[in-house]
Structure 1
């Protein structure tokens, strides 16, 4: 079948989820004419297509939407503005000169040349193998996201008596979803001494349904021949090792894993981009450009977000900056570098420019109360509480950043000193 694609595009976006769709709109807003989105699924929308619960769009649209509703608004906007979406297609390789090889289920092998590229591949779930959970290998062990797809898109139940390891947001949401479908959720078990999900999800998905959350607890052994029959649960010590002499048994037929998300950066690694081990994504400048000129990154491939609204905000900016580069309007380089300090787990972007307002995303390493966040020695902000599962979003004006021209800034959070 003849290829429907042009030979050259101003901006090529890899990934058709919320980040990719928003990046394409951002590029169009900035004047890019020829824009292509490549997505490996049969429909654009990404993970939102299986997130049928509400809670999306409160920041961006100022109203509460389900995941498919949020995605559909962007899909229609993209199509109405003549952006090409190529689905059922996989990007095999991106050369340093931005020559892209694609394998398409409909058109076979394709090649296109981009003037700039936006990486928006999203993230994937960590699996049992990533944490080396001891035990047998029966049916009934799966990630929470797979269970979500089974229930919401296929109309299938993963089991009847469910245990959930990890308190990530997908696991919390699926605890509620499975209760609503008539399953028994025996509990959510978290290795850390604090939840890894948003506070609102703990309240709305667990507390409101009387589902127990046990912190500092893990699965010590999975029992079962053909199907999961029971789990050996154990508290953990300060080194997160199970205390086996305090273990107990939990009967269940299904174990869902909600143990973290990993940015999908195989393409980034192949491109030899500079990576940030704290986020699992590429290092980026204030324009969200990676270490390879003309390649930008946004959304969960850059760092895992809590809210799709923040993904959209970031991706719109990435698309605008990618369009500017495609049109030969590159902005001056950054001259302020950012470094993570005390109690800061990650920071994006990794450098700033004082010529415009900047948005910084941060995460803390542990829960903190009554603390102060400092950037260098001339900016501070007081917080009543900070937790690792909720990203901090800071906006710094050009008038603030101008004071730091050419500096290396350390971002830290410390307990507040009360006089």
Structure 2
């Protein structure tokens, strides 16, 4: 059995940043396990710009951004195994993996960081009526076909869902010569970043149809068109609003799901809201010595925020290996009125250095509202918010001095209040 101080599962932007963070804290015996044949994760196929503005203060493409970290991995001589699939993970931090070179291997780690990212929600998860005819792809699959393999999925395209990958592919397909007929969204608001709505749809005059659903996919061997309809507040199609759109391709962008098969194997507690591990202020799960970072916790809006969070996860894992982490009374973070979820889920104030950075996602669009934070039942923070938008996560920082004033706090509640 191979032994390492720290094993990072996943070699995308999260996994690489976590490994670098631990290395810079002095941890030497580190191994990254990556199932694909090169490091970089999904960034390899994200050839559009917009990455790195915060981390590097310059605009990079996805491959350029990933290469900065790959170079650092090589510079630090951090070990990694490519084309290696992790099959099992125990709560005792034993990893079972397989690759062509080693066969089946077992690895005992003192600490583990989960950085497997997320996957696309497939057609089967949303019950679109119709048979499995050709021409239906997830947006990420189409992105890989176009950007890495050089194949065009189709020429007349409809996109279901206004997630960021779908919005970016609306622009990409247009630039490659396809006609994007419309983006269809069931919610009364778009799910992607406002920046992508502007740059990927409005700049190319691509219609966005909110509160609509696909009620039929037509075609025998391949998609020939779709029928959409407006839906009411119960997601029921409204009769008389049907519209037929001819197309040969349907791209599905209806959300991303954290990849947590291994977390389930290790009996790690998952959040019913994010479907990712519930973590504390140190990025540690409820299984001692197993940490998590990046999209495996919740789906992030920006890769720069993944990098910062994952670097901190590596730092916290190093503190754990050095025995610096303190286990004491914790406070529970509660998503109150108007909040879909918060990250982290638990807070041990002793382990906070200067401030706690809380991520939260609004449930709906709020204008001219207030964000309130309560320690137990006492209001400690109030911030005016001009616009809160469910397509983007928000952050709020709480200084450690506030925690020091409430040493016995059991719950921290975050809620949105309309004016």
The residue aligned with 1:371 is 369
Counterparts of 2:322 and 2:86, CA distance in 1: 24
The residue aligned with 2:104 is 109
Counting only pairs closer than 5 Å after superposition, residues 311-350 of structure 1 correspond to structure 2 as 311-333=306-328, 335-350=330-345
The residue aligned with 2:382 is 380
SS in 2 for 1:75: helix
Q: Deviations over 1:194-217 (max 9, x none)?
A: 000000000000000110101001
Q: Could you tell me whether the CA contact under 8 Å between 2:212 and 2:231 is conserved in 1? A: yes
The residue aligned with 2:201 is 206
Structure 1 runs, 4 residues or longer, greater than 6 Å off: none
Unaligned runs of 5+ in 1: 1-5
Counterparts of 1:220 and 1:347, CA distance in 2: 34
Q: Could you tell me whether the CA contact under 8 Å between 1:88 and 1:106 is conserved in 2? A: no
The residue aligned with 1:410 is 413
SS in 2 for 1:282: coil
The residue aligned with 1:80 is 75
SS in 2 for 1:25: helix
Q: Deviations over 1:122-173 (max 9, x none)?
A: 0000111000001222100010000000000000000000000000000000
Unaligned runs of 5+ in 2: none
Q: 1:177 to 1:334 in 2, by over 3 A?
A: farther
2:302 is the alignment partner of 1:307: yes
The residue aligned with 2:255 is 260
2:288 to 288, 293, 297: 293
SS in 2 for 1:234: strand
Counterparts of 2:35 and 2:328, CA distance in 1: 34
Q: Could you tell me whether the CA contact under 8 Å between 2:91 and 2:267 is conserved in 1? A: no
Q: 1:149 to 1:333 in 2, by over 3 A?
A: farther
2:221 is the alignment partner of 1:223: no
Counterparts of 1:406 and 1:19, CA distance in 2: 34
Counterparts of 1:176 and 1:259, CA distance in 2: 17
1:334 positional shift:
5.2
Counterparts of 1:51 and 1:240, CA distance in 2: 33
The residue aligned with 2:64 is 69
Q: Could you tell me whether the CA contact under 8 Å between 2:231 and 2:238 is conserved in 1? A: yes
Counterparts of 1:39 and 1:184, CA distance in 2: 36
1:148 to 118, 143, 147: 143
Q: Deviations over 1:330-369 (max 9, x none)?
A: 2343522210100000100012233421111110100000
Q: Deviations over 1:245-298 (max 9, x none)?
A: 321110000000000000000001111111111111011111010010000011
Q: Could you tell me whether the CA contact under 8 Å between 2:11 and 2:41 is conserved in 1? A: yes
Counterparts of 2:392 and 2:329, CA distance in 1: 27
Counterparts of 1:325 and 1:370, CA distance in 2: 42
1:275 to 262, 270, 277: 270
Q: State the aligned residue count.
A: 411
SS in 2 for 1:378: strand
SS in 2 for 1:388: coil
1:397 positional shift:
1.3
The residue aligned with 1:39 is 34
Task: Provide the TM-score with structure 2 as the length reference.
Answer: 0.96
Q: Could you tell me whether the CA contact under 8 Å between 1:286 and 1:334 is conserved in 2? A: no
Q: 1:150 to 1:116 in 2, by over 3 A?
A: same
The residue aligned with 1:360 is 358
